[in-house]
Structure 1
């Protein structure tokens, strides 16, 4: 059976949380000035919510507005030729509790980008979806060199 005929697997909540916990960077989607913006953030999973740190600016402003937010991660395993994606939707809040800040710091939450990131933001998960699927086999003669699928066949 080729990958065109394989079903897309909907991931369980536990599978989604495991993938989120084993990753460190996602794409945060928030509304800024009435239009969507996407920012890469490094995060940790704390009590089945996501926490990231940020400096004053668009992400912090968006988080303080407590508007709907989403974070997406994805990946590809060249050994199994499987791709996956997880999306968390919810709202954001500024973390004020020092015990929570200490707990997430203990999980290894430290900024990747230079500069002070003293503000902690929690994405309270309200909806969680994920899927996994077998990717199409690439045409190694015509597929772009940077296509991740090529690693499975080279």
Structure 2
């Protein structure tokens, strides 16, 4: 693989396919000047990302500013990928929404009560895939 095709842009379907292969991603929130990143276990629900959270800073931050980034990635010895979801986060409020979400099998990884389901609704979805191979020859010492 040469440098020209070392990075490939994923289309929307490929992004969702890749997101479905993982269970842990990172949620980025912003409240004022403070930017935070949280690891979350998640599930893809149709074309949204769903995670659970407890009461606290993450949930509070989403009520102050619902604009978030969500990122997940994966790799093998031969390739790697990364998908970024930009969008808004909303807490599921109705009994019907929560009942449906309960059926998706999303369970907390740590023994804490996470009663709140949050859905990330994409405004944009971008992804890239990378072929993994040795670094190209650098032709000796590089000038800086």
Please state which band the TM-score falls in when normalised by the shorter chain: 0.7 to 0.9
Partner of 1:94: 91
Aligned-pair CA distance for 1:104: 2.1
Whether the 8 Å contact between 2:70 and 2:85 is mirrored in structure 1 is: yes
TM score, norm. by length of structure 1: 0.80
- Per-residue CA deviations over 1:36-83 (Å, capped at 9, x if unaligned) read 1000001111131111111111110122224310010111111xx111
Partner of 1:126: 123
- Tell me how far apart the structure 1 counterparts of residues 94 and 44 of structure 2 sit (CA, whole Å): 16
Q: Answer with 6-15 or 59-68: which moved more.
A: 59-68
User: Would you say 1:104 and 2:101 are equivalent positions?
Assistant: yes
What is the TM-score normalised by the length of structure 2? Answer: 0.86
Q: Deviations over 1:80-113 (max 9, x none)?
A: x111100001011111122222222212111112
Give 4+ residue runs of structure 1 displaced > 4 Å after superposition.
none
User: How many corresponding residue pairs?
Assistant: 136
- Summarize the alignment of residues 1-154 of structure 1 with structure 2, pairs less than 5 Å apart: 2-78=1-77, 81-137=78-134
Q: Structure 2 regions of 5+ residues with no counterpart?
A: 136-144
Kindly provide the CA deviation profile for residues 17-40 of structure 1, in whole angstroms up to 9, marking residues without a partner as x.
Answer: 111122111000001352110000
Contact 1:66 1:93 in 2 (8 A): no
